[in-house]
Structure 1
Amino acid sequence: MKYLALAATLAMPLGAAYAAGGGDETAPTKPKCEKGFVYDKKTKECVEAESSLDTDTLYQTVRELAYAGRYLDAQDVLAVMPQGDDRTLTYLGFTNRKLGHGEIAMDYYRQALAVNPGNILARSYMAQGFVEQGRVADALAELRAIRAYGGAGTWAEASLKKAIATGHTYNY
């Protein structure tokens, strides 16, 4: 039943515009698969959506769903991904924050950073949560950390700088 729900989630139309990802320079994939299938970049074919897909394919799907504002659907995909992976934890934090669960989100971001302190996307998303809470000093500390981990010039840095300057955070 879990895989059936996942398959239905992955088959729905997704946004094709650029979505932020841990330093990724490319836009999310643009699958055009029938219901119950997802595009597999390795085989360059539509395959049945299931957890046996590689983590990178599932991660790209999560990015697409998050960009499209489909946070609950993204969480369905995240549920079949490795739970200790810092990217999984980052997007669990992001989707929970966008769904209004700020404290749960912060816990996921802290877990992601415990696994990988250099995860600049987790730092950016966490700091955008700080901006939403009015904790600008904490957001600035994360901006410095992003730069210290080599994130100057990345989307993680640029989006956080803009959030600090304007008070508006990103939905992707």
Structure 2
Amino acid sequence: MRSTFLALALTAPTFALAVGSDDFKPPKTTETTTECTDGQIYDETTKTCVDAKESSLGDDVLYQAVREFAYAGQYDAAKRAMDAMSNQQDDRVLTYRGFVNRKLGNTELAMQYYSAALTKNPDNLLARSYMGQGLAKAGNMPAARIQLSEIRARGGADTWAEIALADAIKTGVTYNY
């Protein structure tokens, strides 16, 4: 049942989840990753590629760029977009920082960011899922199961966060978004 739901979650537009978002599908590929270079972000208003810090892009646009960069494996570009966000202590930013660091192999630093995100917002199911996936990948199944229990206790049963972590515990495979 879970495998069927996970397959649907990863393919159906209304079910799949991407990094740091309430959107349950992988990020849409845009000009940010198809035309822009060197971590620039496509500005829909000016129809040009712009540097994240040098632009007037809002945090929502930057969040979408981080998701797209992370999904594309462009982690340095994701970091630069995060650096331009207005609230560096926002739990979503901390979650992104954890995700990117985990994907870059900086597991200890990633766990620090996830912990900081959860201190800010204990109900951040995405941070719990990503933390648990990192723990599962490292072979720390008891700690990963604690995060899975927390997700369920906080209303996250049958969400992408729960299903992805349960799958990571079962298979050792983690997600890139």
Question: Which band: TM-score by shorter chain?
Answer: 0.7 to 0.9
1:78 deviates by 0.9
> Is there any run of 5+ residues in structure 2 with no aligned partner, and where?
1-12
**Which of 135, 146, 153 is the matching residue for 1:148?**
153
Tell whether 2:24 aligns with 1:25.
yes
**Which of 59, 65, 68 is the matching residue for 2:63?**
59
Tell whether 2:141 aligns with 1:136.
yes
Alpha carbons 1:19, 1:64 under 8 Å: kept: no
Tell whether 2:85 aligns with 1:87.
no
2:82 is aligned to 78
Q: Secondary structure of 2:162's partner?
A: helix
Alpha carbons 2:41, 2:65 under 8 Å: kept: no
1:7 is aligned to none
Alpha carbons 2:129, 2:147 under 8 Å: kept: yes
Q: Secondary structure of 2:151's partner?
A: helix
CA distance in 2, matches of 1:49, 1:140: 40
Mark the CA change 1:171 to 1:31 in structure 2 (over 3 Å): closer, same or farther. Answer: closer
> Is there any run of 5+ residues in structure 1 with no aligned partner, and where?
1-16
Alpha carbons 2:52, 2:81 under 8 Å: kept: no
1:117 is aligned to 122
Q: Secondary structure of 1:38's partner?
A: strand
Tell whether 2:144 aligns with 1:166.
no
Question: For residue 66 of structure 2, what is the amino acid of its counterpart?
Answer: V
Percent identical among aligned pairs is: 49
Q: Give the TM-score, by structure 1 length.
A: 0.79
1:50 deviates by 3.4
CA distance in 2, matches of 1:137, 1:73: 33
CA distance in 2, matches of 1:157, 1:83: 26
1:50 is aligned to 52
Alignment root-mean-square deviation, CA? 2.2
Residues 31-42 of structure 1 correspond to what in structure 2 (within 5 A)? 31-32=30-31, 35=36, 37-40=41-44
Mark the CA change 1:103 to 1:29 in structure 2 (over 3 Å): closer, same or farther. Answer: same
2:9 is aligned to none
2:8 is aligned to none
Q: Secondary structure of 2:88's partner?
A: coil
CA distance in 1, matches of 2:59, 2:28: 14
Q: Give the TM-score, by structure 2 length.
A: 0.77
CA distance in 2, matches of 1:26, 1:108: 23
Tell whether 2:69 aligns with 1:69.
no
1:27 deviates by 4.1
